[in-house]
């Protein structure tokens, strides 16, 4: 646990330094996006990695937070209320949709998440109260009460706080009973059921928490971008982006989402900046190629491969110790 | 009487829509049945077949004449993709195939945009643009051609799987990979063939769909999404399940659009999927 | 061949003289930097490429010596600022609202632009202009049509293009004119549109105006643009038996509806489209004879050349720079947008934001000094240009002919539309 906390501390420190030291709005925007996607990727990781049910509809929980923010503000309420409101909505949505589907195997669950997301998208587009296709523009305000700032610094501080909280929560998850049961379920469903682990209940818990985390990210996003509509928050493309961040980094690992977010941001923005202007989609080509290569050669993702490598070396050391009849 | 005609028209429309979905879904379910892989780039294979058909059309070969060529080309493409890429994915953890094929989706969409641009493209004056009338109902000739194509393809695929030796080998691999290997079946070869045939099926689908739709880099997405639901609904791996699932989805979509609302017409489809898999986790006609 | 070569040489000469050559003086005033946020990558990149070319063309003409009957062109920069040149700096919105926001911020904080222009898609314009509002930088929107953009109470936002509300109003003015001049009576309206920002915005505007002018809306249908079939939608329209069907669709869905209307013998007096899929080059190519008689609102047409002879000249210059593709509604509006900004900055005789803003508020450019079929360019208290209007074209013999307003029309409207040929 220590090395993880030290690493986290270092990242937070670096982030704070950037928030208050760097003036370049473009760089700060990249840092914010990076943190946001790291949080979203980690929330996705809880259900798809640790619980093993791969979701392609995770954006709806992100949308819960974003829409909660938009609705609060346009109704004259404090955006801070959006945090509990969005979290409640997201958890409720997760439980209602997870209950029938979490017991499904593999691809059936993934397609169920697509189905649920499509239903949510259709409903949002038809409800005037939810802005339909036009969405919401959040009116400009400034200050902690309004959760909006002219400067990027405070946004990054908030994003860092969220990121740190989520990482600590994930460390806690790995060491908790929930985490233990999830690992057991992933290893062998039948055996786990035989010892009385109720798959549905434990996975619902993980799912609900993952939804809450995504919703918090959504609130922060809405307060930053000041614009919420279906294509930018709950569309299938957003769900896919979130999933790819988790996969590239390493599904089921603590630092996978952060690394995946780094790759995503560097690639998406970097390539767009370098090759931009032609409208040719080169950034998609490179991104797609990288994912293919990782899936084929390093399917556990970047962090996953590192973890595997470490484990193998440790295993070899143990074998060596056993062979020589003593500790290495 | 009006209401009855409208109902009948919707019924016919729903069936034809369903057949189009079956056309796209059949190749997907075969691949899953044999090697447990959902090719999430299925829509992009469809898009590739559509571009290929357009290319041949611009060279003077109409969609129906170009169809056999596209089918063969896609078959070879499928085998190559399997050998070079999918085979490697299979030796990794189960998530590898999901994300590998997703990577392929992103890559192919990007390449399509880079090479063809995101403009809508279609062949001028497509054939079968007329209307067919019977019993007071009207359908477009193109839909009828697509529907017939779907039925023929499904029947051919079913016959292949049931009655040919390779088909039997595929069923064996689908049922028990290890036992099949013990029986002397070259699983890698069968996998490659299955992937190739799956691609060939979607190649036929793409060639026929060019009769009614323009092609663009993300043209395959709406068809693929429905195909996933159809296949899961019918039961992964079941060809007859794909047909049944597709017809059900088509009817739900069309009737949902009329009696519920056009904006919400996919809601009954997705709800039906959720209900079916809740009650019957392996789909309507699926095995495991 | 020779004529082409001569034309090319002439146009090249014109373009070259538009760009100032050699040193212009001992102490050149610094360039006036204008930021442009447009989609340079992503799904809208094709359109974005054209917008960029159009904006740069305007920039070069403002900085050049050759004058045309257009504001600020050929004065070698901005006269009231010592002939300072304007310089556009581009940032990519990628077609996404959050990216547009970042792009606008980059232009303001890093490139210190005096004004912003952009962003084509309405959702990206919304976020970029909010950034401008926060920083107090004038924002000129030449090409986004969502009505909501000018009802936000923003101080720094100005829009030259008419909104969907105006375009919808054009249809009803057309009906009124048809009644007056040809005794054609339109009653029942059906509104069919995709359920995204484009379709729902247009549909809402049409529905509100239909109510205002007293036309019963017998059917309002929204569908998802990526749908693969429209059986139910067509049946619903058929059941409503409208006189006119107003459509807001992209190409694939437009084609599906045309096929469906034909098959099911849905025969309205007219189909009025809101651009998009119905002006895609593939529409006429695929539909052939079936496209005859379809009306579409347009923003611009080369037909209006008799209003301002600069139209074909600018078109030629544009075609040279953009692989032979002619000016269209989007590129023409963006071209004008740069000129409007240049005009305001020059009148302000200052790069101070507040001065530019005040100058923009006082903008008054007569319509025949623009490339557009507009009455004039004058912004109301919400920053919306009140002098804008669209035109209506009809597909006749496979070509889009301007049929309204009658004073710019080149052809008579065919009414009702031809019967479907089976």
- Min Cα distance C130 → chain A (Å) is 7
Contact B97, B90 (CB under 8 A): yes
What pLDDT shows up at residue A225? 93
What pLDDT shows up at residue A326? 43
Burial B168-201 (b: 16+ CB within 10 A, else e): ebbbbbbeebeebeeeebebeebbbbbbbbbbbb
Token code pair at residue B39: 């090719």
Contacts of C10 (CB under 8 A, 6+ apart): none
Q: Please report whether residue A88 resides in a domain.
A: yes
The tally of domains found in chain A comes to: 1
Region C188-214: what's the mean pLDDT? Answer: 94
Lowest-pLDDT range of A187-201, C192-206, C381-395: A187-201
- Structural domains present in chain B: 2-117+126-279 (1.10.3470)
- Min Cα distance C333 → chain B (Å) is 21
The number of CA neighbours under 13 Å toward the Cβ of B185 is: 24
Measure the CA–CA gap between A247 and A56, rounded to whole angstroms.
12
> Inter-chain contact C286–B121, Cβ cutoff 8 Å?
no
What pLDDT shows up at residue C5? 60
Q: Please report whether residue A53 resides in a domain.
A: yes
Q: Are residues C361 and C241 in the same domain?
A: no
What pLDDT shows up at residue A317? 64
CATH number at residue C70: 3.40.50.2300
What pLDDT shows up at residue A252? 87
Q: Are residues C294 and C234 in the same domain?
A: yes
What pLDDT shows up at residue B114? 86
Strand order in the sheet with C217-223: C217-223, C189-194, C244-248, C270-273, C295-298, C391-396, C399-404
What pLDDT shows up at residue A316? 66
- Min Cα distance A251 → chain C (Å) is 27
Q: Please report whether residue A298 resides in a domain.
A: no
Q: Are residues C150 and C29 in the same domain?
A: yes
Q: Please report whether residue C422 resides in a domain.
A: no
Q: Are residues C335 and C312 in the same domain?
A: yes
Q: Please report whether residue C415 resides in a domain.
A: no
Nearest CA in chain C to A125: C195
> Inter-chain contact B214–C262, Cβ cutoff 8 Å?
no
Q: Please report whether residue C241 resides in a domain.
A: yes
Measure the CA–CA gap between B171 and B237, rounded to whole angstroms.
10
Looking at the predicted structure, is the pLDDT value of residue C90 above 60?
yes
Mean pLDDT across chain C, nearest whole number? 91
Q: Please report whether residue A27 resides in a domain.
A: yes
> Inter-chain contact A291–B100, Cβ cutoff 8 Å?
yes
Could you report the predicted ipTM of this complex, rounded to two decimals?
0.92
φ and ψ at C192, to 5 degrees? -125, 125
Q: Please report whether residue A149 resides in a domain.
A: yes
What pLDDT shows up at residue C349? 94
> Inter-chain contact B110–A287, Cβ cutoff 8 Å?
yes
Overall residue count recorded for chain A in this entry: 328
Q: Are residues C146 and C67 in the same domain?
A: yes
**A81-106: pLDDT as tens digits:** 999 999 999 999 999 888 888 877 77
Calculate the CA A220 to chain-centre distance: 13
* Coil, strand or helix at A190: helix
In Å, how far are A230, B282, C243 from C184, measured between CA atoms? 41, 61, 11
Burial C12-21 (b: 16+ CB within 10 A, else e): eebbeebeee
Give me the tens of pLDDT residue by residue for chain A, a chain 328 residues long. Answer: 788 889 899 999 998 998 888 888 778 888 999 999 999 999 999 999 898 888 999 999 999 999 999 999 999 999 999 999 999 999 999 998 888 888 777 777 888 898 899 999 999 999 999 999 889 999 888 999 999 998 889 999 999 999 999 999 999 999 999 998 988 888 887 888 888 888 888 999 999 999 999 999 999 999 999 999 999 999 988 998 898 888 888 888 999 999 999 988 887 777 666 665 455 667 778 878 888 998 888 877 788 888 888 888 877 665 555 555 444 3
Q: Are residues C237 and C320 in the same domain?
A: no
Q: Are residues C171 and C157 in the same domain?
A: no
Measure the CA–CA gap between B50 and C228, rounded to whole angstroms.
15
Q: Please report whether residue C386 resides in a domain.
A: no
The tally of domains found in chain C comes to: 2
Q: Are residues C90 and C110 in the same domain?
A: yes
Strand order in the sheet with C32-38: C86-92, C32-38, C115-118, C139-141, C157-159
The boundaries of the domain holding residue A9 are 2-236
Q: Please report whether residue A315 resides in a domain.
A: no
Considering only CB atoms, A140 lies closest to which of C102, C130, C224, namely: C130
Q: Which run of H or of E encompasses C35?
A: strand C32-38
The boundaries of the domain holding residue C257 are 165-298+391-404
> C221: which DSSP letter?
E
Looking at the predicted structure, is the pLDDT value of residue C18 above 80?
no
Region C46-54: what's the mean pLDDT? Answer: 91
> C151: which DSSP letter?
S
Q: Please report whether residue C384 resides in a domain.
A: no
Q: Please report whether residue A321 resides in a domain.
A: no
What pLDDT shows up at residue B2? 79
Q: Are residues C276 and C218 in the same domain?
A: yes
Q: Is the CB of C155 inside 8 Å of chain A's CB atoms?
A: no
Looking at the predicted structure, is the pLDDT value of residue C23 above 70?
no
Give me the tens of pLDDT residue by residue for chain B, a chain 288 residues long. Answer: 778 899 999 999 999 999 999 999 999 999 988 888 889 899 999 999 999 999 999 998 876 788 999 999 999 999 999 999 999 999 888 778 888 898 899 899 989 988 998 889 998 878 888 899 988 899 999 999 999 999 999 999 999 998 999 998 988 888 888 888 888 889 999 999 999 999 999 999 999 999 999 999 999 999 999 998 899 889 888 899 999 999 999 999 999 999 999 999 999 999 998 888 888 877 788 775
Q: Are residues C119 and C7 in the same domain?
A: yes
Q: Is the CB of C48 inside 8 Å of chain A's CB atoms?
A: yes
Output the pTM of the full model: 0.89
What pLDDT shows up at residue C22? 47
Token code pair at residue B138: 């009207």
Contact B211, B126 (CB under 8 A): yes
What pLDDT shows up at residue A328? 38
Q: Are residues C81 and C137 in the same domain?
A: yes
Going by their DSSP bridges, the two strands C157-159 and C115-118 should be labelled as unpaired
Interface test with B, best of A292, A294, A305 (most B CBs within 10 A): A292
> Inter-chain contact B257–C222, Cβ cutoff 8 Å?
no
Q: Are residues C170 and C291 in the same domain?
A: yes
**A111-160: pLDDT as tens digits:** 889 889 999 999 999 999 999 988 999 988 899 999 999 888 999 999 99
Considering only CB atoms, B110 lies closest to which of A114, A123, A284, namely: A284
Contacts of C361 (CB under 8 A, 6+ apart): C379
Looking at the predicted structure, is the pLDDT value of residue C139 above 70?
yes
Q: Please report whether residue A313 resides in a domain.
A: no
Region C3-24: what's the mean pLDDT? Answer: 53
Contacts of A240 in chain B (CB under 8 A): 102
């Amino acid at each position: 646990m220590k090395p993880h906390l030290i690493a986290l501390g270092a990242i937070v420190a670096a982030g704070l330094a950037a928030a208050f030291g760097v003036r370049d709005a473009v760089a700060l925007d990249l840092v914010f996006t990076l943190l946001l996607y790291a949080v979203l990727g980690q929330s996705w990781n809880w259900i798809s990695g640790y619980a093993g049910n791969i979701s392609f509809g995770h954006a709806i929980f992100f949308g819960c937070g974003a829409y909660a923010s938009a609705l609060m503000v346009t109704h004259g309420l404090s955006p801070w209320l959006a945090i509990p409101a969005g979290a409640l909505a997201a958890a409720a949505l997760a439980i209602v949709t997870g209950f029938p589907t979490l017991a499904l195997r593999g691809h059936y669950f993934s397609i169920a998440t697509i189905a649920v997301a499509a239903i949510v998208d259709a409903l949002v587009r038809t409800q005037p109260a939810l802005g339909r296709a036009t969405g919401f523009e959040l009116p400009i305000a400034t200050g902690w009460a309004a959760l909006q700032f002219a400067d990027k610094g405070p946004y990054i501080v908030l994003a860092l706080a969220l990121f740190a909280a989520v990482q600590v929560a994930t460390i806690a998850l790995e060491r908790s009973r929930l985490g233990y049961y999830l690992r057991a379920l992933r290893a062998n469903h039948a055996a786990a059921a035989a010892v009385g682990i109720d798959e549905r209940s434990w996975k619902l818990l993980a799912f609900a928490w993952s939804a809450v985390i995504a919703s918090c990210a959504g609130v922060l996003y809405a307060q930053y971008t000041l614009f919420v509509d279906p294509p930018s928050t709950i569309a299938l493309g957003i769900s896919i982006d979130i999933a790819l961040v988790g996969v590239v980094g390493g599904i089921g690992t603590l630092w996978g989402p952060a690394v995946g977010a780094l790759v995503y941001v560097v690639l998406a923005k970097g390539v767009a900046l370098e090759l931009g202007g032609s409208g040719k989609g080169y950034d998609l080509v490179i991104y797609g190629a990288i994912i293919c290569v990782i899936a084929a050669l390093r399917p556990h993702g970047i962090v996953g491969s590192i973890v595997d490598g470490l484990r193998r070396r440790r295993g070899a050391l143990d074998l060596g110790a056993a062979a020589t009849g003593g500790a290495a | 009487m009006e209401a009855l005609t409208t109902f009948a028209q919707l019924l016919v429309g729903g069936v034809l829509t369903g057949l189009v979905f079956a056309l796209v879904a059949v190749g997907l379910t075969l691949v899953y049945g044999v090697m447990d892989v959902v090719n999430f780039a299925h829509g992009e294979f469809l898009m590739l077949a559509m571009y290929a058909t357009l290319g041949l059309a611009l060279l003077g070969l109409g969609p129906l004449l170009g169809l056999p060529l596209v089918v063969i080309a896609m078959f070879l493409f499928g085998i190559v993709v399997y050998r070079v890429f999918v085979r490697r994915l299979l030796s990794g953890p189960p998530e590898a195939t999901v994300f590998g094929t997703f990577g392929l989706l992103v890559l192919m969409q990007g390449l399509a945009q880079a090479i063809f641009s995101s403009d809508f493209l279609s062949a001028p004056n497509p054939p079968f643009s007329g209307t067919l009338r019977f019993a007071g109902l009207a359908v477009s000739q193109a839909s009828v051609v697509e529907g017939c194509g779907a039925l023929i393809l499904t029947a051919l695929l079913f016959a292949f799987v049931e009655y040919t030796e390779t088909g039997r080998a595929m069923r064996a691999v689908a049922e028990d990979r290890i036992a099949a290997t013990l029986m002397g079946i070259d699983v890698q070869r069968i996998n490659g063939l299955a992937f190739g045939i799956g691609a060939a099926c979607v190649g036929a689908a793409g060639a026929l769909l060019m009769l009614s739709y323009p092609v663009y880099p993300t043209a395959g997405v709406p068809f693929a999404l429905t195909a996933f639901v159809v296949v899961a609904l019918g039961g992964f791996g079941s060809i007859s399940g794909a047909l049944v699932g597709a017809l059900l989805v088509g009817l739900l979509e069309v009737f949902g659009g009329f009696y519920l609302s056009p904006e919400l017409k996919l809601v009954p489809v997705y709800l039906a999927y959720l209900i079916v898999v809740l009650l019957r986790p392996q789909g309507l006609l699926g095995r495991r | 061949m020779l004529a082409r070569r001569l034309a090319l040489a002439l146009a090249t000469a014109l373009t070259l003289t538009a760009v100032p050559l050699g040193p212009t003086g001992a102490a050149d005033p610094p360039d006036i930097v204008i930021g442009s946020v447009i989609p340079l990558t992503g799904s809208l990149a094709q359109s974005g490429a054209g917008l960029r070319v159009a904006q740069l063309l305007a920039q070069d003409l403002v900085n050049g010596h050759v004058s045309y009957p257009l504001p600020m062109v050929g004065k070698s920069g901005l006269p009231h600022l010592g002939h300072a040149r304007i310089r556009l700096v581009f940032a990519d919105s990628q077609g996404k609202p959050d990216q547009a926001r970042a792009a606008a911020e980059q232009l303001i904080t890093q490139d210190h632009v005096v004004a912003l222009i952009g962003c084509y898609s309405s959702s990206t314009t919304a976020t970029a202009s909010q950034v401008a509002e926060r920083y107090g930088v004038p924002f000129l929107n030449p090409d986004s049509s969502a009505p909501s953009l000018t009802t936000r109470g923003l101080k720094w936002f100005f829009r030259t293009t008419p909104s969907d509300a105006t375009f919808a109003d054009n249809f009803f003015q057309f009906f009124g004119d048809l009644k007056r001049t040809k005794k054609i009576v339109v009653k029942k309206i059906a509104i069919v549109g995709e359920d995204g920002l484009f379709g729902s915005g247009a549909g809402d505007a049409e529905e509100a105006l239909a109510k205002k002018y007293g036309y019963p809306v017998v059917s309002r249908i929204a569908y998802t643009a990526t749908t693969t079939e429209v059986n139910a939608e067509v049946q619903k329209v058929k059941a409503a038996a409208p006189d006119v069907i107003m459509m807001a669709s992209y190409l694939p869905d437009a084609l599906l509806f045309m096929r469906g209307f034909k098959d099911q013998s849905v025969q309205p007096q007219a189909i009025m489209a809101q651009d998009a899929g119905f002006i895609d080059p593939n529409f006429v190519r695929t539909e052939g004879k079936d496209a005859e008689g379809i009306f579409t609102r347009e923003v611009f047409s080369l037909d209006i050349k008799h209003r301002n002879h600069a139209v074909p000249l600018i078109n030629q210059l544009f075609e040279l720079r953009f692989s032979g593709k002619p000016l269209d509604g989007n590129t023409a509006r963006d071209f004008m947008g740069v000129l409007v900004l240049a005009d305001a900055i020059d009148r302000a005789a200052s790069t101070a934001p507040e001065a530019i803003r005040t100058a923009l508020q006082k903008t008054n450019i007569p319509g025949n000094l623009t490339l557009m079929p507009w009455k004039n360019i004058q912004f109301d208290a919400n920053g919306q240009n009140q002098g804008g209007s669209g035109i209506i074209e009809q597909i006749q013999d496979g070509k889009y002919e301007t049929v309204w307003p009658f004073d710019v029309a080149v052809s008579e409207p065919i009414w009702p539309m031809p019967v479907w040929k089976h």
